Amino acid sequence: MQYHRITDIGDPYFRQMHELMQRVFPPEEVLEYELWAEPLQDPGIRVFVAVLDGEVVGATEYRYYEDLQVAMTDFTIIGRDGLGIGPFLARRRMADLRSVVAACGGTFLGMFAEIYNPQLVGKLEFGGVNAMNSFVRREVLAHLGYRKLDTDYVHPSWHNNGEAVHGLDLCFMPIADEEQVSVPASLVWSFLERYYAVLPQKPDAWYRMVENLKQRDNVALLPI
């Protein structure tokens, strides 16, 4: 299996990846095809696909914020069951991130990730791939070391229409200190403001969530 980075929408694997995203994720979670052109050219955004016999069978996007010393897993897609795509992506992503951190001469405190809560959103098909089932994905994140932040979470729709997307948990995987039980609230809201700066149309619920975090000192890390 090949771990291939995409930096341009003209990459022949990009269309395959975008079509895979449309099959797996709800529409409000998928950025329109043409709107990917600028983000892909950002050196800080790392988009990779798993390619098997010329076919994109998985994908992941992530980034590292040097000043905050944290990373964010934007998405992980497994296109087929039974090929070991998930472990392949997780290993290659972590190795790549550690090389990025080393090049910056920085520290790797941990990584954020969003995950659907099936008890809040009901049944989502995720393209019919068993490995993408919300219950399975939550167990995988738990085994990797992620824990959910103790806060009601909402994020802006990637349609940039000001709609609030509910039914997800924001999680964090501690790396520098695997035993930590909380994270500074300032780290959480600083990250969220940075991450969603690209979406000017944000719902009031998102602003209320951020303001609530600004009134707190720490946010507990809970089991997923």
pLDDT digits (tens, 9 = 90+) for 6-45: 999 999 999 999 999 888 887 777 888 888 998 898 888 9
pLDDT band for position 122 (50/70/90)? low
Higher pLDDT, 155 or 7: 7
Higher pLDDT, 120 or 24: 24
Average pLDDT of the chain, as a whole number = 89
Is the pLDDT assigned to residue 5 strictly greater than 60?
yes
Is the pLDDT assigned to residue 133 strictly greater than 80?
no
Strand, helix or coil for residue 63: strand
Q: What is the distance of C-alpha 211 from the center of its chain?
A: 22
Structure tokens at 173: 């995987």
Q: What are phi and psi of 177, to 5 degrees?
A: -135, 95
How far apart, in whole angstroms, are the C-alpha atoms of residue 103 and residue 117? Answer: 35
Residues near 107 by beta carbon (within 8 Å), at least 6 away in sequence = 69, 101, 176
Burial annotation 21-47 (CB, 10 A radius, 16+ → b, else e): bebbbbeebbbeeeebeebbeeeebbb
Q: Residue 17's beta-bridge partner residues?
A: none
User: Helices 185-195 and 204-214, interaxial angle, to 10°?
Assistant: 150
Q: Angle at CA 109, nearest 5°, toward 105 and 96?
A: 60
Roughly how many angstroms between the first and final C-alpha of the chain, as a whole number?
30
Q: Which ranges in the chain belong to alpha helices (H)?
A: 12-24, 37-41, 85-104, 118-121, 134-144, 185-195, 204-214
Please return the burial class of 200, using the count of CB atoms within 10 Å of its CB with bins 0-12, 13-18 and 19+: exposed
Structure tokens at 199: 């979406």
**What local confidence, expressed as pLDDT, does residue 157 receive?**
86
Q: What is the pLDDT of residues 177-213, one digit of tens each?
A: 888 999 999 999 999 999 998 888 999 999 999 999 9
Share of the chain above pLDDT 70, in %: 94
Is the pLDDT assigned to residue 121 strictly greater than 60?
no
pLDDT band for position 138 (50/70/90)? confident
Is the pLDDT assigned to residue 126 strictly greater than 70?
no
Residues near 45 by beta carbon (within 8 Å), at least 6 away in sequence = 39, 61, 63, 74
CB 221 within 8 A of CB 182: yes
